[in-house]
Structure 1
Amino acid sequence: MDSQKLPLVSVVICFLNEQNFLEEAITSVLNQNYKNWELLLIDDGSNDKSTAIALNYEKKYIDKIQYLDHNNHINKGLSASRNLGIKKSKGDLIAFLDADDIWQPNKLSQQVAIFNNNPDIGLLLEASMYWFNWNDNNQDNILIPIGVEGNKVYKPPFLVTNLYPLGKGAAPCPSAIMVKRNAFENSGYFEESFKGEFALYEDQAFLSKMYLKEEVYVSSECNNMYRQHQDSIVQTVKSAGHYNKVRKYYLTWFKGSLKENNIKNSEIDTMVKYALKELNYSAFYNLKNKIFMKLKKILK
């Protein structure tokens, strides 16, 4: 890569009691073959050994790694922690790595090259490897590509209607994205109201805003390992039976956000209205889907 096209990349890792995985995530940043990066470790009020782990890395790599926490070491939620990292960062490009995930060594170099070749994009997405065999070699990992054609630039608002949570296509994992700094100024930061169990949708709220305003490059490459474990927020919310509640919270917020920003799109409005109706009348729609599947089997 041209030495004049090596922008500083700010890597943001937010963590809350991640002593089991944090060191592995940090190591995967240190192992990047792209070297012009800074790492911000945002402590969201941990009370386990992860705080000490982060502080030790800051001390060891004083010119590359910075530790930050909220006032009085309080817990403010993932969105507020991501925003703190963004605002304290210096890079032209910003990448997020969840504290229980890891990157492959080519992650930053490949994504920086894509930004250099596509100067008008504000956001980059890539596929993710759903990482099941990290502690069980009998399980297979699953590659999940973004749910639209890869290696292509998409103009707004195409991805809103074609990717989850409104569309059928698979959405990116946070560890798979990179964002241009000025896109945050243009489209907004992470929504800090999405905390607690609602943090399940904090990335989707952020991405929805980006899809509405930014050109987005979808890559077919995969350089991130998305760790699957029972303590993840996805599994916690689903196990508690709160998924519909959290989804409704997001849809209500998104509907209000469209109105607040005077964004009028009949296709999006219809999809939001239908999604909310499905949740409000879930028993009816579940029965309808069961009947449809039975008819489909009969016809086959």
Structure 2
Amino acid sequence: MNQPLVSVVIIFWNAERFLREAIESVFAQAYANWELLLVDDGSTDGSTAIARSCVEQDPQRVRYLEHPGHANRGMSASRNLGIRNAQGAYVAFVDADDVWFSNTLEEQVGILEAYPEAAMAYGPIEYWYSWTGMPEDRERDYVEKLGVTPNTVIQPPKLLPLFLQDKAAVPSGILVRRHVIERVGGFEDTFRGEYEDQVFCVKICLSAPIFASGQCWYRYRQHRDSCVLTGQRTGETHSARLFFLNWVTKYLSEQKSKDRGVWRALSLEFWRFTHPRAFRLLRRGDHLVNQINGFFAQHGGIK
């Protein structure tokens, strides 16, 4: 198999607790042709020293990047800094508190080499609780449902309405062709935290074919200080969701998208956002109907 260079981007901000483990998962890859870009988003803890020591250990493959003045610019701006400095044909992202399985790059590169029409490859991720080593967490790990037919190329924009409505997993643990990232303009700097990844996926899924694999390559560490759980705890997730939906509306208009499925999904998401109680009642009704249908299917219908 051809082995093109992969640029791996790890952004971090005060991530000394987990950063070294994320870096080690890159070094553990069976696929050898990679470069690692460590992007410091203004850390004030020991993670800067961890990143710099990693560069000293392998200066040929690892680079340290930061914003001017060691500023904190947010997640999107930090990913874009990594992308601007990337030299690989492909770009991959690992969050500083997560890890890869050792076969991740080998299999993802193999897929994109075999399917040149696909702009991106992804698979379901593992929600990883057992990292704590605590007995009560050992059985909590699970792999999310993909929500689409696995091991297929999904044409645009079919995946977009599915993940907007939580009917399919948001692409995570992705490998993307660098020229496609550059074509869509990378990440949006205005999204400093939550939804920065979904904004990027909207751009890709609207315009390019995506390979959805059934293979899990990514361990998503569950801990109370993660971006998502912090947003839920502080109440910022609600406003972040509205900001995201408004951005999607504007972006679809700018791209002159006329896909009815995408616009319908977006309208439903706005309705769900503004009518959460009604939506929950509808979901309960759907669940009850499914249970009834399942009962009759199991027992051969009404007699």
Question: C-alpha distance in 2, partners of 1:144/1:54?
Answer: 31
The Cα of 1:147 is off from its aligned counterpart by: 1.7
**Residue deviations 1:206-249 (CA, integer Å, cap 9, x gap):** 00110011110011111221100000011111122333322111
Question: C-alpha distance in 2, partners of 1:84/1:250?
Answer: 22
Residue 80 of structure 1 pairs with residue 74 of structure 2? no
Give the structure 2 partner of residue 31 of structure 1. Answer: 28
Q: Determine helix, strand or coil for the equivalent of 1:221.
A: coil
Q: How many matched pairs?
A: 291
Question: C-alpha distance in 1, partners of 2:98/2:176?
Answer: 18
Structure 1 residue ranges without an equivalent (≥5): none
Give the structure 1 partner of residue 169 of structure 2. Answer: 170
**Residue deviations 1:130-167 (CA, integer Å, cap 9, x gap):** 1100002432210114221111101100101222x334
RMSD: 1.8
Question: C-alpha distance in 1, partners of 2:196/2:59?
Answer: 31
Q: Would the aligned equivalents of 1:125 and 1:146 in 2 still touch at CA under 8 Å?
A: no
Question: C-alpha distance in 2, partners of 1:289/1:216?
Answer: 29
Question: C-alpha distance in 2, partners of 1:61/1:37?
Answer: 12
Identity in percent:
37
Matched ranges for 1:272-287 at <5 A: 272-287=266-281
- Cα 1:63–1:126 change in 2 (3 A) is same
Question: C-alpha distance in 1, partners of 2:151/2:271?
Answer: 35
Question: C-alpha distance in 1, partners of 2:232/2:266?
Answer: 22
- Cα 1:289–1:106 change in 2 (3 A) is closer
Q: Determine helix, strand or coil for the equivalent of 1:134.
A: helix
Q: Would the aligned equivalents of 2:161 and 2:266 in 1 still touch at CA under 8 Å?
A: no
- Cα 1:67–1:255 change in 2 (3 A) is same
- Cα 1:158–1:66 change in 2 (3 A) is same
- TM-score between the two structures when normalised by the length of structure 1: 0.92
Give the structure 2 partner of residue 150 of structure 1. Answer: 150
Greater than 3 Å deviation, 4+ residue runs: 283-300
The Cα of 1:288 is off from its aligned counterpart by: 4.9
Residue 129 of structure 1 pairs with residue 126 of structure 2? yes
Q: Would the aligned equivalents of 2:124 and 2:169 in 1 still touch at CA under 8 Å?
A: no
Q: Would the aligned equivalents of 1:187 and 1:214 in 2 still touch at CA under 8 Å?
A: no
Matched ranges for 1:162-241 at <5 A: 162-163=162-163, 165-173=164-172, 176-195=173-192, 199-241=193-235
Q: Would the aligned equivalents of 1:147 and 1:171 in 2 still touch at CA under 8 Å?
A: no
From 23, 47, 50, the equivalent of 2:47 is 50
Give the structure 1 partner of residue 12 of structure 2. Answer: 15
- TM-score between the two structures when normalised by the length of structure 2: 0.91
Q: Determine helix, strand or coil for the equivalent of 1:124.
A: strand
**Residue deviations 1:181-229 (CA, integer Å, cap 9, x gap):** 111122221111111xxx2211001001100111100111112211000
Q: Determine helix, strand or coil for the equivalent of 1:220.
A: coil
- Cα 1:297–1:116 change in 2 (3 A) is closer
The Cα of 1:295 is off from its aligned counterpart by: 7.9
**Equivalent position amino acid for 1:91 in 2:** G
Question: C-alpha distance in 2, partners of 1:295/1:93?
Answer: 45
